[in-house]
Structure 1
Amino acid sequence: MIVKSDVIIIGAGIAGLVAAYECLNQEKSVLILDRNTEEHLGGLAKLSFGGMALVGTPLQKRLGIKDTPEIALDDWHSFADFGPNDLYPKLWAEQYVNESLGQVFHWLGSLNLHFFPVVNWVERGLYKRGNSVPRYHVLWGTGYRLVERFVELLKKHKHAKNLKIIFEHKVTDLIKENGRIVGCIAEQEKTGNKELSFYADHVMVATGGITGCLKKVREHWYKPWGEAPKEMLNGSHPFADGLVHDAVKKHGGNLTHLDKMWNYAAGIPNPNPEFEGHGLSLIPCKSALWLDHSGRRIGPEPMMTGFDTNELCRRISRLEKPYTWQLLNWRIAAKELAVSGSEHNPMIRDRKLVSFLREVLLGNHRLVRQLQKESDHFIVANNLQELTDKMNQLNGDQSIDYEVLKKEVTQYDDVIRRGKGLWNDDQLRRIQHARSWRSDRVRTCSPKPILHPGAGPLIAIKLRLITRKSLGGIQTDLQSRALDTLGAHIPGLYAIGEAAGFGGGGASGFKSLEGTFLSGCILTARAAAKSIKNNISQ
């Protein structure tokens, strides 16, 4: 017996959940197939910090931020560096800046999902302009609450009987009949010994990207950067391996910009790994010194977060060794250090406002102590000689010379001691710039010498590049319909979220303004559902 649904959604991340919700609103029957277990429903979105780049919101206006789609699109193009043939990525970028206010901010608000009343300023740009104004909004409850809420909406939906979710099933191929995608083939993830066929009028690919497969990351590494680092951490998930991308390509779909990725420069091994190479992505401290494997400050321009994440990854990929160090003290860590994601931000995730404000004002000593206890890559010492010894011990060599490390730190501290009017170090100039915006000021230390005796123990963190998001993927039009290599629609097939490069097979271009991922998932999913509602499938 052939079981047929109106819609099959491959992948139960936030794009898949949003698409399912919108399709249930149309009284469609929906089948979601997901490779993971039920406890991981929501995918990486559930683990995310919940930040979204939104344009012209009431929160921005309340804070005196003048932002418009025109300003945002200009910033977007500056970072994206689109090519002349990037028609659909450009169209999706324009759609994003025009629709994020209504289709994301206000829509989520109507579903009782709200943002913390502070707008952060990330990806300000280094050599090219990035975000010219703050527009990074953090969902109150993080990505965990976003997923939790959509699970609630699906379970309580008046058409909930029309939804079926099958877990631990890996889609290996699509079914094509008379030029139309009419279903997919899946097998049980653990056994892999029985193929099952599922049929639907519409099939949506919502499987994420390729950055969970380090082999594919290396295969598609951006060639002008040379070879990929010999050591990388996985900040995605092994199931984000591009398997369904390959199936789409097999049936004529166009894969684009797979060499464009959004990785992070400050990863450490996850103390509680769920898979091989599992990493945690730190939000590195602006006031820390960023050093190479020998303990020398990376230069000539100092590395510092908050301005151009992509450039940090490029510079790290070109270093002699595939790891770096951040050197700081407890004072800096307590105020500035964070781990990206919901797991290590329980006060925001669990919406404990008083506790969260206490950590912001008094320092997040809880997190610093947790990392000290759990991670061997997070080294704490009472003096610089002890720190050097522990760093070399972790490496199993003597690559860091105490005198070299001491010179780097004391030179930086000496500049700070000269006084603000004589700060000619570019890192200090950028710290001053960051502190000029109120939300960054409370999370960025006023410069004081790192070796200041009252600043607490010294800290060194060993970092590696960590993968995260694919900026390229399955090419789509503005209705999220998958396109073939000639630009024609593949009837019955859609791609949403990261699988579609967050729209058009690469809406961000070369660099993201950050925060365009969760909101990109929402926009592309809603576009696909609207296309189905309007019967735009041919």
Structure 2
Amino acid sequence: MNAKHDVIIIGAGIAGLVAAYECINQGKTVLILDRNTEEHLGGLAKLSFGGMALIGTPIQKRLGIKDTPEIALDDWFSFADFGPNDHFPKLWAEQYVNESLGQVYHWLGSLGLNFFPVVNWVERGLYKRGNSVPRYHVLWGTGYRLVERFVALLKNHKQTKNLKIIFEHKVTDLIKENGRIVGCITEQEKTDKTNLSFYADHVMVATGGITGSLEKVREHWYKPWGKAPKEMLNGSHPFADGIVHDAVKKHGGNLTHLDKMWNYAAGIPNPKPEFEAHGLSLIPCKSALWFDHSGRRIGPEPMVTGFDTNELCRRISGLEKPYTWQILNWRIAAKELAVSGSEHNPMIRDRKLFMFLKEILLGNHRLVRQLEKESDHFIVANNLRELTDKMNALNGDKSIDYEALKKEITQYDDVIRRGKGLWNDDQLRRIQHARAWRSDRVRTCAPKPILHPSAGPLIAIKLRLITRKSLGGIQTDLDSRVLDPLGSPIPGLYAIGEAAGFGGGGTSGFKSLEGTFLSGCILTAKAAAKSIKGNISN
């Protein structure tokens, strides 16, 4: 039998790393079990953009943004659309808005982690109010820096001898004795598949969600939307497959809201895939026109990013074909296009301030050229006829009619030419609204015709829905203790981060205000560590 630890943490993502740091601060012995290799320590957080929704920060105050926990909670409840039985999700939402300033913003600052001095305004809401003020803060250095810092804190900790990390071990089950979870069983995937048992006073599940399994995504697809799209990309990781969720359920834990997911509407196949259906999530351009498979503008209400991501996914999932097109030009792409994550944002990731500001001011031509070179789903052409031919060639059919496509774009361009006072198009109205906020203004083009000769060449991007986060998961209380269906804690068992739906088994409800994920991982991990502090028998 392996030596017994005070705490076993299943998963070495950011939730697991934060929990480990807090536990060894208390003098606890900690074992982290991770399914991936050491080079992937930190999980998806390492690849993330590093955005966090924070309330009442000094940065907001400096920019004249009046934000309070009361305003944020009102926004949160508007988007979440909680049901009458969502007791713990509601409590976690309240906990989040009240603690994000001290337990995330200031705490990270005390550890040498800082945010870029602007605040972005995302998820403003469409039919229901989302973020009524800007509160999306970007960590300077992205999620890569966040993970890098916590790895260093653990490695150089005076109690580092109390921490052990074992990689390439898949947890397949939990061990229960006398009604208490006392350990877990692992399988060594890349060797002889030997099963090993590990024991601890407390077990924390920090495995992420279920959206790395397209099979699970389809199984739990939100039923009012109909069937899941026939083609989807994986923006998570295959190891986020819900195996430990199933083990928790087997031992009495309650799983809730698995049909609530935070997917994105603008995925392309990863040019350097590491697994099947591996996708890149683009941050689509507000000024691009969004078309269905036949080259007709999706409507009657235009699709525009930045207001309601969930609604974009709903509309795409109901289309005849599982893919869409965005059409734009080089001018728009250089100013507005981005790829979510640290890998394609090296100037922020590597904290190169001058080069980052240069790309903001002069356009991110580097990224546009990179996508043109690497992705066959990113099509560049000198004119619309050539663009249409290339789009049809990629599809292997003639589904896009040139004349119909030209008419759609020309109609939009004609509205722009009439002048600002006559812009009677909802997309233009939303662009104007976005440009009214200073940090969005520098990333959103002033309207100009798509087919304007000086703005070319033209670009078409073929997009599919891409999975990302589970909003539901293992139900927990405010101490991150796993609950049974009657609401009673299961002794010895905790769930943190995405595995717990970022708190309570689904604290975002139906829609996230965005940026609640990394910070939700931090808050749930700290709550779990605080709960076990000085209480080995709880």
Fold match (TM-score > 0.5): yes
2:474 aligned with 1:474: yes
User: Conserved in 2, the CA contact under 8 Å of 1:481 and 1:537?
Assistant: no
CA RMSD of aligned residues (A): 0.7
Deviation at 1:456, TM superposition (A): 1.9
Deviation string, structure 1 residues 75-115 (Cα, Å, up to 9, x no partner): 00000000000000000000000000000000000000000
Q: Which residue of structure 1 lines up, in the alignment, with residue 304 of structure 2?
A: 304
User: Conserved in 1, the CA contact under 8 Å of 2:201 and 2:536?
Assistant: no
Counterpart residue type for residue 328 of structure 1: L
User: Conserved in 2, the CA contact under 8 Å of 1:222 and 1:260?
Assistant: yes
Q: Which residue of structure 2 lines up, in the alignment, with residue 127 of structure 1?
A: 127
Equivalent-residue separation in structure 1 for 2:212 and 2:537 (angstroms): 31
Please show how residues 175-254 of structure 1 align to structure 2 within 5 Å: 175-191=175-191, 193-254=193-254
2:52 aligned with 1:52: yes
Q: Which residue of structure 1 lines up, in the alignment, with residue 293 of structure 2?
A: 293
Q: Which residue of structure 2 lines up, in the alignment, with residue 164 of structure 1?
A: 164
2:108 aligned with 1:112: no
Q: Which residue of structure 2 lines up, in the alignment, with residue 173 of structure 1?
A: 173
Please show how residues 430-445 of structure 1 align to structure 2 within 5 Å: 430-445=430-445
User: Conserved in 2, the CA contact under 8 Å of 1:205 and 1:499?
Assistant: yes
Equivalent-residue separation in structure 2 for 1:329 and 1:302 (angstroms): 18
Counterpart residue type for residue 438 of structure 1: R
What TM-score does the superposition give when structure 1 sets the normalisation length?
Answer: 0.99
Counterpart residue type for residue 54 of structure 1: L
Equivalent-residue separation in structure 1 for 2:398 and 2:488 (angstroms): 59
2:267 aligned with 1:270: no
Equivalent-residue separation in structure 1 for 2:154 and 2:355 (angstroms): 31
Aligned to 1:232, what secondary structure does the other structure show? Answer: coil
Counterpart residue type for residue 501 of structure 1: G
User: Conserved in 2, the CA contact under 8 Å of 1:281 and 1:466?
Assistant: yes
Deviation string, structure 1 residues 9-64 (Cα, Å, up to 9, x no partner): 00000000000000010010000000000000000000000000000000000000
Equivalent-residue separation in structure 1 for 2:77 and 2:397 (angstroms): 45
Aligned to 1:303, what secondary structure does the other structure show? Answer: coil
2:375 aligned with 1:375: yes
Equivalent-residue separation in structure 1 for 2:174 and 2:89 (angstroms): 25
Q: Which runs of 5+ in 1 are unaligned?
A: none
Deviation string, structure 1 residues 339-382 (Cα, Å, up to 9, x no partner): 00000000000000000000000000000000000000000000
Equivalent-residue separation in structure 1 for 2:2 and 2:271 (angstroms): 46
Q: How many equivalent pairs are there?
A: 538
Deviation at 1:323, TM superposition (A): 0.2
Equivalent-residue separation in structure 2 for 1:259 and 1:435 (angstroms): 34
User: Conserved in 2, the CA contact under 8 Å of 1:235 and 1:280?
Assistant: yes
Counterpart residue type for residue 386 of structure 1: E
User: Conserved in 1, the CA contact under 8 Å of 2:121 and 2:134?
Assistant: yes
Counterpart residue type for residue 225 of structure 1: W
CA 485–389 in structure 1, closer or farther in 2 if over 3 Å, else same: same
Q: Which residue of structure 2 lines up, in the alignment, with residue 144 of structure 1?
A: 144
Deviation at 1:536, TM superposition (A): 8.4
Q: Which residue of structure 2 lines up, in the alignment, with residue 351 of structure 1?
A: 351
CA 310–410 in structure 1, closer or farther in 2 if over 3 Å, else same: same
Q: Which residue of structure 2 lines up, in the alignment, with residue 413 of structure 1?
A: 413
Counterpart residue type for residue 523 of structure 2: L
Aligned to 1:342, what secondary structure does the other structure show? Answer: coil
User: Conserved in 2, the CA contact under 8 Å of 1:266 and 1:466?
Assistant: yes
Aligned to 2:176, what secondary structure does the other structure show? Answer: strand
Aligned to 1:486, what secondary structure does the other structure show? Answer: coil
Q: Which runs of 5+ in 2 are unaligned?
A: none
Aligned to 1:67, what secondary structure does the other structure show? Answer: coil
User: Conserved in 2, the CA contact under 8 Å of 1:260 and 1:472?
Assistant: yes
Deviation at 1:189, TM superposition (A): 2.0
Counterpart residue type for residue 218 of structure 1: R
Equivalent-residue separation in structure 1 for 2:154 and 2:456 (angstroms): 49
Counterpart residue type for residue 149 of structure 1: R
CA 307–467 in structure 1, closer or farther in 2 if over 3 Å, else same: same
Deviation at 1:190, TM superposition (A): 1.7
Counterpart residue type for residue 239 of structure 2: F
Counterpart residue type for residue 428 of structure 2: L
Equivalent-residue separation in structure 1 for 2:210 and 2:190 (angstroms): 20
Equivalent-residue separation in structure 2 for 1:536 and 1:278 (angstroms): 42
Equivalent-residue separation in structure 1 for 2:523 and 2:537 (angstroms): 18
